[in-house]
Amino acid sequence: MKNKIIVTGGASFIGSEFVRQIIKRGFKIIVIDKLTYAGDLARLGEVKGKIEFYKADISCASAIGKIFKKEKPKQIVHFAAESHVDRSILSSDEFIRTNIQGTQVLLDAAKLSGIEKFVHISTDEVYGDIEEGQFCETTPLKPSSPYSASKAAADLLVGSYVRTFKFPAVIVRPSNNYGQWQYPEKFIPVIIYKALKGQRIPVYGKGLNVREWLHVSDCAGAIGEILKKGKIGEIYNVGSGNERKNIDVARAIIDFLGKPHSLIEFVQDRPGHDLRYSLNFSKIKKEIGWQAEYNFDCGIKDTIGWYKDNFNWLEKKAEYLRGYWKKVYV
């Protein structure tokens, strides 16, 4: 019998890439996704008819309990979340409900059904920011935004289940992802969209904040390896070493598209804006034998190509974002 796996948030940017990759390993995949503004079944078009899909809210214990009872999965990879920092600053309600309560509901459902492995997708943002040096898996958590605080709370909850119930969980902390199908509220697709349209490109503050960019295919590949080889109770950072200042990312994309740098507009900074993230990912390299393959320039070039080829999708999402953009870019 095929290995049955539940993927929460399978219609997300990273979750859908994970599904596209893992299906090739012969898994029977069950996706649970609420299809919020950020979820989109179009991302799963390639695997349509080959997976089971449940539209459900992970914070609803009865709905989740029923799915687990019916499907009896062996493993679960938990991506579902409210994922955008700026939205968590506008309102944190959904972040608490989905990221904390939703994780608790899944932990209890998985515990009851005797799951073999629970891979919890966290983020590098739980560590806060760092001016110099790098975050290790043992660095204390010091989240800055309501988003990262909700993710940190979920990590602590997962850790408590490991210790108290010997629950078979593994935590994954990836750095900033980019690539195909990313919702254009995030920085890289914002730049691509605005540049393609010849519109002003909003860069927060002076654009000096640094992010470590990881291609979504590399991230999903790392999670697949962790699912296979990750040790129960362990935490794995997933980074790329591709650190860039925001302003340099904006300029690189503008240059690729042959547009003028004058499109860049410095706007009001994000409150509590983390200055720099940088992950030490020697643990996953040493213990799992994984490392990122994408070179940032090639990854960006591919990503721009993808958005050009899928411009209708991008434009449709941007239409929906217009009201939101009025609230965040001041």
**124 given a catalytic annotation:** yes
Q: Are 174 and 214 in contact (CB under 8 A)?
A: yes
Q: Shortest Cβ distance from residue 34 to ligand NAD (Å)?
A: 3
Q: Are 200 and 261 in contact (CB under 8 A)?
A: no
Q: Does 58 bind ligand NAD (CB under 6 A)?
A: yes
Look up residue 47 and give its two tokens. 């695997």
Q: Are 143 and 128 in contact (CB under 8 A)?
A: yes
Q: Which does 209 bind (CB under 5 to 8 A by kind): ligand TDX, ligand NAD, none?
A: ligand TDX
Look up residue 53 and give its two tokens. 């899909």
Q: Does 103 bind ligand TDX (CB under 6 A)?
A: no
The angle subtended at Cα 28 by Cα 216 and Cα 111, nearest 5°, is 90
Q: Shortest Cβ distance from residue 12 to ligand TDX (Å)?
A: 10
Beta strand pairing call for 243-245 and 210-212 = antiparallel
CA distance 243 to 211: 6
- Of residues 127, 147, 277, 294, which has the active-site annotation? 147
Nearer to ligand TDX, 74 or 87 (CB): 87
Sequence-ordered strand ranges (E) for 86-159? 117-121
User: Widest CA span of the chain, in angstroms?
Assistant: 58
**125 given a catalytic annotation:** yes
Judged by CB under 6 A, which stretch of 29-37, 83-91, 93-101, 132-140 contacts ligand TDX? Answer: 83-91
Per CB under 6 A, the list member of 17, 40, 57, 125 interacting with ligand TDX is 125
DSSP 155-186: HHHHHHHHHHH---EEEEEE--EESTT--TTS
Q: Does 171 bind ligand NAD (CB under 6 A)?
A: no
Beta bridge partners of 203: 266
Three-class DSSP category at 257: coil
Which residue sits closest to ligand NAD, CB atoms considered?
39
Beta bridge partners of 30: 6, 52
Q: Does 155 bind ligand NAD (CB under 6 A)?
A: no
Per CB under 6 A, the list member of 7, 12, 299, 300 interacting with ligand NAD is 12
Token pair 């940017």: residue: 13
Q: Does 38 bind ligand NAD (CB under 6 A)?
A: yes
Judged by CB under 6 A, which stretch of 31-39, 204-212, 280-288, 305-313 contacts ligand TDX? Answer: 204-212
Token pair 């809210």: residue: 57
Per CB under 6 A, the list member of 5, 6, 13, 149 interacting with ligand NAD is 13
- Of residues 124, 155, 185, 218, which has the active-site annotation? 124
Interhelix angle 187-197/246-256, rounded to 10 degrees, is: 40
Say how many residues touch ligand NAD, by CB under 6 A. 29
Q: Which does 230 bind (CB under 5 to 8 A by kind): ligand TDX, ligand NAD, none?
A: none
Q: Does 211 bind ligand TDX (CB under 6 A)?
A: yes
**234 given a catalytic annotation:** no
Q: Which does 203 bind (CB under 5 to 8 A by kind): ligand TDX, ligand NAD, none?
A: ligand TDX
Count of Cβ atoms closer than 10 Å to residue 307 Cβ: 21
Q: Catalytic site residues?
A: 124-125, 147
**Binding stretches for ligand NAD (CB under 6 A):** 9, 11-15, 33-36, 38-39, 57-59, 79-83, 98, 102, 121, 123, 151, 174, 176-177, 183
